Amino acid sequence: TIGDVTETQAVTSIFGEKGIFIGAVKPYVGHMEGASGLTSVIKAVLSLEHRQIPPNIYFETPHPQSKFLEIEYLCQSSKLTHVVPFQEGKLEVPIDTLPWPEDKEARVSVISFGIGGANAHVILDAFQPRDTILAPRKQPNQILPLSAWGANALINKIEQLQSYIGQHPHKLGDVAFTFGSRRDHLSHRAFVVTDGDTINADAFQRRHLPELQASELVFA
């Protein structure tokens, strides 16, 4: 179609010097209309995750209107991988699964224009893990409340919390907020004012709220 030719010419004008791999999802799933963009995104994410370029089935020659490109068939005997590069624009349509080239960035451009497409263009980059060292930060003073239905349950909860904060001191602020604003306050209660990244179980102030006596007054 004219859209395919236009997109191919645009890609060639930008990446013609370095070369680029191109592909499509239509041969696999047909014309998906508005869902074609999402299908292409899924394919692109899987390609980046596995560092492999998936093949394109039923591809032999480019559209006849692509006269500005010459066709050449190459074979890499070591991997028996067949590709059809468009020599003029250095475009390659893989016919077999290819490993991601080491000299190319792990980046995919998903184009879904046209009357039946999603009319969007998305660029996806592979996640690059980084060793980030966070500077130590002093936690502000906070009230950390705890509660339970019984005294023993409260003691167990304090010990569990102390062990957890010992392993995850950076989460002390989140824990204080959660127990203070997102938990029910039961009859046996305790609290501590935190002043750092650790919790001292002996610093908890405990209190047992007496149970309310049921009224003898009955309305009928």
| All domains of the chain in start order, with CATH | 2-125 (3.40.47.10), 142-208 (3.30.70.3290)
Inform me whether the pLDDT recorded for 151 exceeds 60: yes
Tokens of 57: 């089935």
pLDDT value for 107 = 92
Comparing 93-97, 134-138, 161-165, the range with the smallest average pLDDT is 134-138
Average pLDDT for residues 169-189, to the nearest whole number? 86
Q: Which helix (H) or strand (E) holds 167?
A: helix 151-167
Residues 6+ apart with CB under 8 A from 141: 193, 194, 195
pLDDT(6) > 50: yes
Q: What's the pLDDT band for 46 if we cut at 50, 70, 90?
A: very high
Overall average pLDDT of the 41-53 stretch = 93
Would you say residue 73 has pLDDT above 50? no
Highest mean pLDDT out of 10-19, 45-54, 190-199 = 45-54
- Does residue 68 register a pLDDT over 60? no
Instruction: With a cut of 50, say whether residue 78 has pLDDT above it.
Output: no
Q: Which range among 47-56, 123-132, 191-200 shows the weakest confidence by mean pLDDT?
A: 191-200
Please return the burial class of 172, using the count of CB atoms within 10 Å of its CB with bins 0-12, 13-18 and 19+.
buried
pLDDT at 99 over 90: yes
Distances (CA, A) of 161 to 169, 179, 190: 11, 11, 12
pLDDT above 90: percentage of residues in the chain: 10
Residue 205, pLDDT > 70, answer no
Band of residue 49 on the pLDDT scale cut at 50, 70, 90: very high
C-alpha to C-alpha distances, 128 to 23, 122, 132, 150, nearest whole angstrom = 24, 18, 12, 49
